[in-house]
Amino acid sequence: MSLKGWKFKAAVITGGVVLLTVLFLVSPFFHIDEIIVEGNDRVVTSEILSRLELGGTTNILFFDADAAAVRVMGNLHVGDVSFRRSIPGRLYVTVQERRPSAYVEHGGRLLVLDDTGLVLEIRNQFREALPLLEGLQFTRVQLGEVLEVTNETDFITVVLYTQLLTAHDLIHRITHINVADPQNIRILVDYTEFHVGGTSDADQKVRTIAAILDIMPDANIRRGFVSLQTIRPYFFFELLQ
């Protein structure tokens, strides 16, 4: 056989191998037949599966993760999502949810903010125990965007305290956060007020609130305040008349 003939034969064999490989890769063997959703609490699994828009013949090798992530994150309660493929047909979906952290009254309705100040929902009534933010002045409200406020410093302060209260598992016990006076921010548990001042030593102040609430379980019915503007080795509960 001539050199030209050998080249032709090799090309045919190579083409056949490539074709068979392609046919194998797009075969039902690689169809996604199992989806495992992890990390979701508030967003139900069926909602995530619906937003994935995966058909019965979606190939795991050619699955468009970027487009799927955009669709899943169309639910505002989803802050991030990642995917992991397990050949031949198992897809892991890991969801990171946003954390509702506070309410703000606006036009007779309630804005639900996450711990970055993003507007997650607009509701007609309270559903879960979260603090109501008071004294915050804002200029624009847009669902799915961070609240636009008049004083950025006040907003940063609010975000800082809501994140710390969440980190120390207090956010659901706090009923109000009042930032009308940025030099004397008030964190309330019903009738008990904690005057924390500004952001200086904010983490220590929140830890102190947690410690005080642990030894004062009836804080929700006591009318008084504790001054935490300056960290000291002792604190006094002062009654309000």
Q: All domains of the chain, ordered by start, with CATH?
A: 31-97 (3.10.20.310), 100-239 (3.40.50.10960)
In this structure, the strands spanning 34-38 and 90-97 are parallel
pLDDT band at 239 (very low <50, low <70, confident <90, very high): low
CA angle in degrees (0–180, nearest 5) for 78-82-41: 40
The answer, yes or no, to whether residue 199 has pLDDT greater than 80, is yes
For 92, the 3-state DSSP assignment is strand
- How much is the mean pLDDT over the chain? 84
pLDDT band at 63 (very low <50, low <70, confident <90, very high): confident
The answer, yes or no, to whether residue 15 has pLDDT greater than 70, is no
Q: Is the bond leading into 28 cis (omega within 30 degrees of zero)? A: no
The answer, yes or no, to whether residue 183 has pLDDT greater than 90, is no
pLDDT, position 21? 42
Residue with tokens 């956010």: 171
Residues forming beta bridges with residue 186, ordered by sequence position = 178, 195
Cα–Cα distance list, 133 to 4, 51, 105, 161 (Å): 82, 33, 8, 11
Compute the distance between CA of residue 241 and CA of residue 223 in angstroms, rounded to an integer.
Answer: 8
CB atoms within 10 A of CB 127: 12
**Per-residue pLDDT reduced to its tens digit, 131-173:** 999 988 888 899 999 998 888 888 888 899 999 999 999 999 9
